[in-house]
Amino acid sequence: MKHCEHPQVRTEMVKKEYFGEQFTAKGVVCAECEAILWDSKLQEKFNDWLIRLDASKRDKFTIQFSLTERALECLEHLAKQFPGVNDSQILRALAVIYFNKVAPNPEFARRIESITESDVFKSLLTGEKRRSKVHFKPSALLDIHSWAKIVDLPPSRLLEESILRVFSVYIENDPEMKEFWKANILPDLELILKAS
Amino acid sequence: MASDGLLEQLANAKLPFVRKLQLAALAELDYWEDRRDPPNLSIQEFRSLLNYIPAGLQPSWRERESSSGPHGDTGETQVFKFEFEVSILGRRSRYFVKGYFFDADRCRGVTIQSFRRISLPRLRAV
């Protein structure tokens, strides 16, 4: 496939769909391949649009997903360590840590993936599931949708899979995993939740 | 506008390529978002995957053909090209990146001309 160098451009109204809503703004478009130039000006217009959308249609920024009773017990146990912090904040923080700290590090990622073979992880998959609804700020939701596209999963399933992996590390009795939790996940979780 | 500290880091000639790319994208990013169907990779996906590029990766370089875009005239004359693989949640996929830093005399950002997935996520073989 020939990669366009975008030799000629024009200004036109660009439209993109996010969360079932249409974002429109004037932008620069390649006359050959129709790629949109996403620069700081367009980013600013997009940020303003997101703020207005979040204020008017909060449900657009809510993800509904299911966790087993066992997973919800983990969440409850973890939440006790952070008084005043709600479930959404913890779940969001865990997803952020997984995708920004764990997954980019090949060694961390290998260790976390190995836990999916464990009884601990499997125990989090079995049993009755309960629905959870979590609201995210626009930037966090964009991140999640972006990750969902990258791994080709619906956002709800993406959240479940990443969170269950981190929960498994949290409840695993293996001393190495406990050390991994203390050294690599807990400090970031504390930092994120203090700031949220 | 990028902070002085960030620009100072970008001015370091010894900065490894991937670190330079990450910092430049943080400073100022111009991103050509492909509308062709498929693949259609967004600026969000690019930002999400920046930290996944192996730290020691070295791109190939060639002369830039186009001078369009807000930094087309002031950007470096060479474009970089590379591929990298990502493994997340046990799913592996491969990406292609092409772009150039700007400005040529003092780096303060990067233009990404292409960012495509060249293989779909697949589960790792066990």
Residue of B122 and A176 predicted with greater confidence: A176
Task: Report the relative pairing of strands B60-63 and B78-88 from DSSP bridges.
Answer: antiparallel
**Cβ contacts of A70 within 8 Å, gap of 6 or more:** A123, A124, A126, A127
Q: Which of A14-23, A28-37, A170-179, B39-48 has the lowest mean pLDDT?
A: B39-48
Please name the amino acid found at residue A62. Answer: T
Q: What's the pTM?
A: 0.85
Q: Give residue-wise pLDDT tens across range B71-110.
A: 989 999 999 999 999 888 888 889 999 999 999 999 999 9
Per-residue tokens: A30: 């390649």
**For A185, phi and psi rounded to 5 degrees?**
-115, -50
State the count of interchain CB pairs (< 8 A) between A and B.
Answer: 108
CB within 8 Å: B51 and A100: yes
pLDDT category of residue A188 using cuts at 50, 70 and 90 = very high
Chain A residues closer than 8 Å to B45 by CB: 146, 149-150
Calpha distance B43→B45 (Å, rounded): 5
Model pLDDT, residue A92: 85
Calpha distance B58→B19 (Å, rounded): 11
Q: Which of A3, A143, A145 sits opposite B98 (nearest CB)?
A: A3
pLDDT category of residue B126 using cuts at 50, 70 and 90 = very low
CB within 8 Å: B35 and A37: no
CB A89 within 8 A of CB A79: no
Give the nearest chain B residue to A7 (CA atoms).
B66
Q: Which of B69, B88, B120 sits opposite A6 (nearest CB)?
A: B69
Q: Is B31 on the interface with A (CB under 8 A)?
A: yes
ipTM score assigned to the predicted complex: 0.81
Q: Which of B28, B41, B96 sits opposite A40 (nearest CB)?
A: B28
By percentage, how much of chain A surpasses pLDDT 90? 51
Q: Is A179 on the interface with B (CB under 8 A)?
A: no
Mind telling me how many Å the CA of A119 is from chain B's nearest CA?
18
What is the enclosing helix (H) or strand (E) of B83?
Answer: strand B78-88
Q: Give residue-wise pLDDT tens across range B5-34.
A: 888 999 899 999 999 999 999 999 999 987
Mind telling me how many Å the CA of B55 is from chain A's nearest CA?
10
Q: Give residue-wise pLDDT tens across range A52-95.
A: 999 999 888 889 989 999 999 999 999 999 999 988 889 889 98
**Cβ contacts of B67 within 8 Å, gap of 6 or more:** B73
Task: Report the relative pairing of strands A21-30 and B78-88 from DSSP bridges.
Answer: unpaired
Q: Give residue-wise pLDDT tens across range A16-51.
A: 888 899 999 999 999 988 889 999 899 999 999 999
Which residue shows structure tokens 């949290």? A170
Chain A residues closer than 8 Å to B34 by CB: 33, 35
CB B32 within 8 A of CB B114: yes
CB B24 within 8 A of CB B107: yes
Q: Which of A5-9, A42-46, A144-148, B39-43 has the lowest mean pLDDT?
A: B39-43
Work out the angle at residue B87's Cα, subtended by the Cα atoms of residues A132 and A178, and round it to the nearest 5 degrees.
Answer: 65
Mind telling me how many Å the CA of A43 is from chain B's nearest CA?
10
